[in-house]
């Protein structure tokens, strides 16, 4: 699809714009605006991460084997990954690959956020009940995602060939 290979050309948007309802146009514009805002936030977060990490790497002051350094560094990286996935889901709507943000995508973003929480979790201060609640939430979200994926695999076995993220 040309619009996926060259999203900045917005060929598909221009093609469908005349037949879109006012709300569809509004939804489309909001998706593009959100995508732009998230891209700016990702850029700023990446620059901040690099400004913090690169000088520490160059001076040798960064010890990635230190548990707290590891937590902070990978927590920041996972935050960027979550933002990238979130932006990707909005771009799919804006490029008309999907009509709405897909439930499976939201579940994956939630699972990424919970995974990040486990990476930065301070087990010395966190109560066991909270850890159990986070683990239970992760298990339930994973189960719901698996069930949705199983349903989609049974109803649309050919879709996986076109879109490996489906």
C-alpha–C-alpha distance, residues 98 and 69, integer Å: 39
For 41-94, what is each residue's pLDDT tens digit?
Answer: 999 999 998 988 888 778 877 776 777 777 888 888 888 988 888 888 877 766
pLDDT (tens digit per residue) in 36-48:
899 999 999 999 9
Give one word for 21, left, alpha or beta, with left for phi > 0 and alpha for psi -120 to 50: beta
The model's pTM: 0.65
Q: What is the DSSP string of 84-117?
A: HHHHHHHHHHHTTSSSS--HHHHHHHHHHHHHHH
| Average of per-residue pLDDT across 115-144 | 90
From the list 63, 64, 71, the residue with the least C-alpha distance to 118 is 71
Neighbours of 93 (CB within 10 A): 21
Average pLDDT, the chain: 79
Find the range with the poorest average confidence among 32-36, 39-43, 133-137: 32-36
């Amino acid at each position: 699809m040309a619009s996926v290979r060259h999203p900045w050309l917005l060929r598909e948007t221009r093609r469908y714009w005349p037949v879109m309802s006012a709300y569809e146009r509004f939804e489309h514009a909001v998706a593009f605006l959100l995508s732009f805002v998230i891209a700016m936030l990702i850029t700023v977060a990446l620059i901040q991460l690099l400004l913090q990490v690169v000088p520490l790497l160059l001076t040798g002051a960064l010890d990635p084997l230190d548990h707290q350094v590891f937590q902070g560094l990978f927590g920041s990286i996972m935050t960027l990954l979550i933002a990238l996935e979130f932006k990707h889901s909005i771009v799919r709507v804006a490029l008309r690959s999907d009509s709405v943000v897909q439930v499976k995508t939201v579940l994956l973003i939630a699972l990424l956020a919970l995974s990040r929480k486990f990476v930065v979790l301070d087990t010395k201060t966190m109560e066991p009940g909270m850890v159990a609640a986070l683990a239970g939430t992760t298990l339930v979200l994973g189960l719901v995602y698996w069930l949705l994926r199983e349903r989609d695999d049974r109803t649309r076995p050919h879709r996986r060939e076109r879109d490996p993220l489906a």
